[in-house]
C-alpha cells in the first residue's frame, strides 16, 4: 500500500519554492533579468575551465572500465588519498584515505554521518538560523532535530541556551560554518569554547557527543576573515563536505565525509558508512565525477564576485538603516526585517520585484535572507529597487 | 554515540567478497589472466563509443550552469521525457515524464520504490534465488524481506509457495527478470499468472500489493528469448532500472523508477520519491550523466560476447553432466553443484583456479553461480580447468 507518511509530506508548503515560482512567473511578464531574485543559493560563477579539461582528458585517456565500471563502495582509492592529502596540507590534519568517504554531495554525506553517530530517539542539536533541510535529514532517520535559539548579536553560538539544551539524549551537534543563511563564520574562540563544552558534557553523560560539521561554504570566505577548520577543535568530529559551492558543481552530487582520526571508532566509520549505504541506496558517487574532482582539488571557481556583491549589498543595507551582521563568507546576507513579521515584509518587497526569503523557514522569525550568487550587474540594478522599497513602505 | 547497529554489520561475512579477494591474491601469484574468476557481475564489454562522444559534446557545447548546476530534485525534464518516450515506443506503455524518477542506479531506484509502497513492519516477498542485497535494501527500511522458495525446475515462480506466503501483511512482491543469479527470464505465462494472483489477493485483503520490478538486465536477453515487459501485466507496478548493465556504466550510478500510469496514486509517486530523497540523502543523480544517458537511450553496449559465453559454458556444463537451466538472459549461469554442499564444491574448484559462487548467498543451497561477463578467450581457456575439476573431484 502507498506509504501514507511520504504521501502526507506532499502537503507541506515551501516558502522558498513559492518565491521561486513567483520569480519565474514574474520573469515571464517583465523578463527574468528584471526580477531581483535573491531567493536561491545556486552558484552563479562558472565551473573552472580546468574541470572540463580534466573531464575531456579522462574521456580520452582512460579505459571504459576504469572510468565507468563499478567503483569500490567505500570510494576510489586514489580519490580518497588525494582528498586526504589536500586536507592535511591545508588544515594540518592527519587524515588517511581510510578516513575519507566519498558521497553524493553534502546531502549524501550528512545522510551517512547522522546515521553513524545516532540512533532513533536520540537528539541532534543545531543552531538557529539553520538550513531547513536539516529537519528532514535528521528527523527522517528517527533521530530528533532541536534548534538552539540564535545568538542574534553575531550569529555565532548562543552558549547559554546550548548548555541548557544539551542532555544525555544528545548524540550530536550539527553546525554549519560558514553559515547558510546568516553568512557568519564561526571564530576560533567560538569553536574552542564549543569543544571545551562538549568534552565536559561527554564526561558528564559518559557517552560520545559528535560534532557534525556541514561545510560546503568552507572556501567562500572573504578577505581578512579567518575560517578555522572545525575538526581541529574537537576529536569527535565528522566533517561533511560538498564541491557544489566551491567548484560550482551542485548537479554532479560530489562530496565526502572526513572522519577525524582521533574520534571514537575512527578506523571503522568509513566501513560503517559502506553498510549504511546498503540501506539507503547509495553505492558510490559517479565514478567519472570522483576521478575528475580529485584532479582539481586545490582550485575553486572564481568567487570574487561573491565578495563584490556582499560589499555592495552590505553597504546599501546598512546605509538604509538595516541592522545586519556583516557576512564573513558564503553568498548569503541576513539582515533584520523592518517589521516584526518578516513574511509580510518580504511580501511587500515583491511589489518592487525584490524576491527575498523570510527567515521563519530558518528557525528564527523577523529576518530575511538574500542569496547574492547572481550577476554583480543585477545586484547593482537592484539597489534602487531596495531604496524605493524602504522609502515607500517604511 | 556510535550507532551500534551499523557497527555490528561490519562483522558480517561476505562470501562473494572473500572469493574476490582470493581471486586477486591468486592473480598476484599466477597472473590474473590465469584465474578463472567467475565471481563478480561487472560488465566486461566497453561503453558504446557514442557515450563518450556525447559526453565530449556536452562539455563542449553547454554552459556550466546547464551541465553542472543544481538539477530539479525530481529529475531533468528533457531526460524524463526521453526515457518515457523510449519506454512507450519499445514496450507500448503510456508513461509521461511525471512517471519517471531518475535515480542513482537501481540501488537508488529500489531505495525509493520500497519506501513508496511499504511501511515498517510490512512484508515484501521475493523469489529464491535472489540478489542478496535485497535483504538490506528492504530490511533496513523496517519492512521485512521474505523469500519464496525456488521453482528449481525452471527458475520461474513457485506459485504454490507464493500463494501460501501472501498475506494481509504483504505490501509488495520484489522480482528480478532477467534474473540474477539464475539467468532465467520470466515468461508471459508466468507474468500473466502472477498478475492474476496479485489482483485476486488485493481484493481479498482490501489493499494494494505492488510489484517492484528490478530490471537492470532487461536488455541482456538472448536470441529467440522473449522478455515481456513486467509492467504490462499488472497496473500496480514500479519498474526499477539501471543503465549499469546495458550501457556498462555501473560506476556512474544512473537509473530510474518508472511508475505505471495505472497504479494507485500514480500521479503522486514521483513527488513522493522527491520527499523520500530528503531523508536518505539523494538530491538527484549526477546532472551531466543524466543528460548524456538521455542521448543514448536506444543503444546498448555490444553484448554479443555474453551470448557467446553462455553458449560455451552451457554446452560444456551440460556435457559434463551438470543439471542446468539454460539462461535466457543476463551474464549468469546457475548450475546445480555436484554435491549437496555447494560451499565445499566451490572450495574444491578453487584448486583449479576456478572461482565460482556457492548459491547459499542467494537463498537456495546446492547450486553455484558463474558470472561470464569476462573475455570469451578466458571462458574458452577455463573449459579444460572445468573438465579437470569434474574428472578429478567427482
pLDDT tens for each residue of A224-283: 999 999 999 999 999 999 988 888 887 878 899 999 999 999 999 999 999 999 999 998
**Chain-chain contact of A286 with B281 (C-beta, under 8 angstroms):** no
Q: Which of residues 327-356 of B touch A (CB under 8 A)?
A: none
Element (H, E) at B26: helix B15-30
The pLDDT score that the predictor gives to residue B17 is: 77
pLDDT tens for each residue of A289-314: 899 999 999 888 888 999 999 999 99
The pLDDT score that the predictor gives to residue A41 is: 84
The pLDDT score that the predictor gives to residue B248 is: 82
pTM: predicted TM-score of the whole model, two decimal places: 0.94
Q: Which residues of chain A have a CB within 8 Å of the CB of B104?
A: 104, 253, 281-283
- Smallest Cα distance from A222 to chain B, Å: 23
Which residue's C-alpha cell is 557467446? B308
Q: Which residues of chain B have a CB within 8 Å of the CB of A54?
A: none
3-state secondary structure of A249: coil
A366 φ, ψ to 5°? Answer: 95, 5
- Smallest Cα distance from A137 to chain B, Å: 5
**Chain-chain contact of A280 with B275 (C-beta, under 8 angstroms):** no
Q: Which residues of chain A have a CB within 8 Å of the CB of B115?
A: 3, 6
Q: Is the dihedral of CA A377, A378, A384, A390 positive or negative?
A: negative
Nearest CA to A257 among A363, A92, A106, A82?
A106
The pLDDT score that the predictor gives to residue A252 is: 79
Secondary structure (DSSP) of A175-227: EESSPTTT-----HHHHHHHHHHHHHHHHHHTS--EEEEE-TTTT-B-TT---
Report yes or no: A47 at the B interface, CB cutoff 8 Å. yes
**Chain-chain contact of B252 with A3 (C-beta, under 8 angstroms):** no
**Chain-chain contact of B136 with A279 (C-beta, under 8 angstroms):** yes
Q: What is the 3-state secondary structure (H, E, C) of B47-88?
A: CCHHHHHHHHHHHHHCCHHHHHCCCCCCCCHHHHHHHHHHHH
* Alpha carbon distance A322, B202 (integer Å): 61
What are the helix and strand counts (H, E) for chain B?
A: 14, 12
Residue A65 C-beta-side C-alpha neighbours within 13 Å: 7
Task: Give CA angle at A314 (A310, A320), nearest 5°.
Answer: 150
Chosen from A13, A16, A131, A251 to mutate, greatest number of chain B CBs within 10 A: A251
**Chain-chain contact of A141 with B264 (C-beta, under 8 angstroms):** no
Write the CB contacts of A29 (distance below 8 Å, at least 6 apart in sequence): none
Q: Which residues of chain A have a CB within 8 Å of the CB of B279?
A: 111, 136-137, 139-141
Please check whether residue B172 is in contact with residue B257, taking contact to mean a CB–CB distance below 8 angstroms: no
Secondary structure (DSSP) of A86-125: HHHHHH-----GGGEEEESHHHHHHHHHHHHH--TT-EEE
Q: Which residues of chain B have a CB within 8 Å of the CB of A248?
A: 64-65, 68-69
DSSP annotation of B41: -
Secondary structure (DSSP) of A305-326: HHHHHHHHHHHHHHHTT---PP
Note the ipTM here: 0.92
**Chain-chain contact of A119 with B65 (C-beta, under 8 angstroms):** no
**Chain-chain contact of A208 with B2 (C-beta, under 8 angstroms):** yes
Torsion of CA B256, B262, B265, B268, to 10 degrees: 40
* Alpha carbon distance A63, A60 (integer Å): 9
**Chain-chain contact of A137 with B289 (C-beta, under 8 angstroms):** no
**Chain-chain contact of A252 with B118 (C-beta, under 8 angstroms):** no
* Mean predicted confidence (pLDDT) in A204-223: 96
Report yes or no: B3 at the A interface, CB cutoff 8 Å. yes
Q: Which of residues 97-116 of A touch B (CB under 8 A)?
A: 103-105, 107-112, 115-116
**Chain-chain contact of A141 with B279 (C-beta, under 8 angstroms):** yes
Nearest CA to A172 among A215, A127, A125, A140?
A125
* Alpha carbon distance A53, A41 (integer Å): 26
B177 φ, ψ to 5°? Answer: -140, 135
Report yes or no: B8 at the A interface, CB cutoff 8 Å. no
For residues A170 and A63, the model is more confident at: A170
The pLDDT score that the predictor gives to residue B139 is: 97
Mean per-residue pLDDT of chain A: 94
Measured in whole angstroms, the distance separating CA A382 from the mean position of its chain's CA atoms is 26
Q: Which residues of chain A have a CB within 8 Å of the CB of B271?
A: 10
Q: What percent of chain A has pLDDT over 70?
A: 100
Chain A residue at shortest CA distance from B169:
A1
Chosen from A17, A63, A68 to mutate, greatest number of chain B CBs within 10 A: A68
Report yes or no: A378 at the B interface, CB cutoff 8 Å. no
Residue among B55, B249, B278 minimizing CB distance to A133: B278
Q: Which residues of chain B have a CB within 8 Å of the CB of A10?
A: 268, 271-272, 275
Which residue's C-alpha cell is 584532479? A295
Q: Which residues of chain B have a CB within 8 Å of the CB of A275?
A: 6, 9-10, 136
Residue ranges in chain B whose pLDDT is less than 70: none
Q: Which residues of chain B have a CB within 8 Å of the CB of A63?
A: 46
Report yes or no: B146 at the A interface, CB cutoff 8 Å. no
- Smallest Cα distance from B118 to chain A, Å: 6
Please check whether residue A71 is in contact with residue A285, taking contact to mean a CB–CB distance below 8 angstroms: no
CB pairs under 8 A between A and B: 237
Residue among A1, A105, A287 minimizing CB distance to B208: A1
Residue among B107, B118, B286 minimizing CB distance to A252: B286
Residue among B47, B250, B283 minimizing CB distance to A105: B283
Write the CB contacts of B155 (distance below 8 Å, at least 6 apart in sequence): B129, B179, B182, B183, B184, B325, B334
**Chain-chain contact of B286 with A70 (C-beta, under 8 angstroms):** no
Q: Which three cell numbers stand for residue B202?
A: 488485493
Length of chain B in residues, anyone? Answer: 394
Nearest CA to B271 among B116, B88, B84?
B116
* Alpha carbon distance B121, B130 (integer Å): 21
The pLDDT score that the predictor gives to residue B142 is: 96
Residue among B4, B139, B252 minimizing CB distance to A288: B252
Element (H, E) at A127: strand A123-127
Give the 3-state secondary structure percentages of chain B, helix then strand then coil, rounded to 5: 45, 15, 40
Measured in whole angstroms, the distance separating CA B303 from the mean position of its chain's CA atoms is 16
* Alpha carbon distance B243, B294 (integer Å): 11
Nearest CA to B88 among B225, B261, B217?
B261
Chain B residue at shortest CA distance from A72:
B251
The pLDDT score that the predictor gives to residue A265 is: 97
The pLDDT score that the predictor gives to residue B386 is: 98
- Smallest Cα distance from A217 to chain B, Å: 16
* Alpha carbon distance A51, A34 (integer Å): 32
Which residue's C-alpha cell is 519498474? B239
pLDDT tens for each residue of A143-154: 999 999 999 999
Amino acid at each position: 500500500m502507498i506509504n501514507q507518511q511520504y504521501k502526507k509530506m506532499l502537503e507541506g508548503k515551501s516558502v522558498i519554492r513559492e518565491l521561486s515560482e513567483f520569480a519565474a512567473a514574474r520573469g515571464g511578464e517583465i523578463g527574468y533579468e528584471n526580477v531581483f531574485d535573491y531567493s536561491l543559493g545556486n552558484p552563479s560563477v562558472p565551473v573552472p575551465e580546468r574541470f572540463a579539461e580534466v573531464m575531456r582528458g579522462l574521456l580520452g585517456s582512460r579505459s571504459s572500465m576504469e572510468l565507468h565500471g563499478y567503483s569500490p563502495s567505500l570510494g576510489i582509492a586514489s580519490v580518497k588519498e588525494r582528498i586526504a592529502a589536500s586536507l592535511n596540507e591545508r588544515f594540518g590534519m592527519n587524515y588517511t584515505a581510510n578516513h575519507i568517504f566519498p558521497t553524493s554531495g553534502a546531502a549524501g554525506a550528512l545522510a551517512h554521518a547522522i546515521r553513524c553517530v545516532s540512533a532513533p530517539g536520540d537528539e541532534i542539536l543545531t543552531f538557529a538560523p539553520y538550513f531547513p533541510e536539516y529537519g528532514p535529514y535528521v528527523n527522517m532517520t528517527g533521530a530528533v532535530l532541536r534548534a538552539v535559539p540564535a545568538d542574534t548579536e553575531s550569529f555565532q553560538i548562543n552558549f547559554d541556551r546550548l548548555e541548557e539544551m544539551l542532555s544525555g539524549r544528545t548524540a550530536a551537534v550539527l553546525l554549519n560554518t560558514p553559515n547558510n543563511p546568516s553568512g557568519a563564520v564561526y571564530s576560533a574562540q567560538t569553536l574552542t569554547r564549543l569543544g571545551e563544552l562538549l568534552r565536559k558534557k561527554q564526561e558528564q553523560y559518559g557517552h560520545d557527543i559528535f560534532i557534525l560539521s556541514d561545510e560546503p561554504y568552507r572556501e567562500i570566505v572573504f578577505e581578512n576573515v579567518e575560517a578555522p577548520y572545525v575538526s581541529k577543535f574537537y576529536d569527535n568530529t565528522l566533517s561533511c563536505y560538498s564541491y557544489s559551492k566551491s567548484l560550482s558543481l551542485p548537479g554532479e552530487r560530489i562530496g565526502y565525509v572526513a572522519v577525524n582520526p582521533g574520534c571514537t571508532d575512527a578506523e571503522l566509520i568509513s566501513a560503517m558508512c559502506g553498510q549504511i549505504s546498503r540501506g539507503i541506496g547509495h553505492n558510490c558517487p559517479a565514478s567519472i565525477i570522483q576521478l575528475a574532482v580529485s584532479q582539481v582539488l586545490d582550485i575553486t571557481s572564481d568567487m570574487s564576485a561573491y565578495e563584490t556583491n556582499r560589499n555592495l549589498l552590505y553597504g546599501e543595507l546598512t546605509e538604509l538603516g538595516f541592522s545586519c551582521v556583516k557576512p564573513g563568507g558564503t553568498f548569503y546576507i541576513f539582515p533584520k526585517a523592518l517589521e516584526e513579521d518578516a513574511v509580510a515584509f518580504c511580501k511587500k518587497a515583491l511589489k518592487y520585484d525584490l524576491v527575498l526569503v523570510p527567515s521563519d523557514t530558518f528557525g528564527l522569525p523577523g529576518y530575511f535572507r538574500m542569496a547574492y550568487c547572481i550577476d554583480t550587474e543585477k545586484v547593482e540594478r537592484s539597489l534602487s529597487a531596495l531604496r524605493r522599497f524602504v522609502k515607500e513602505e517604511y
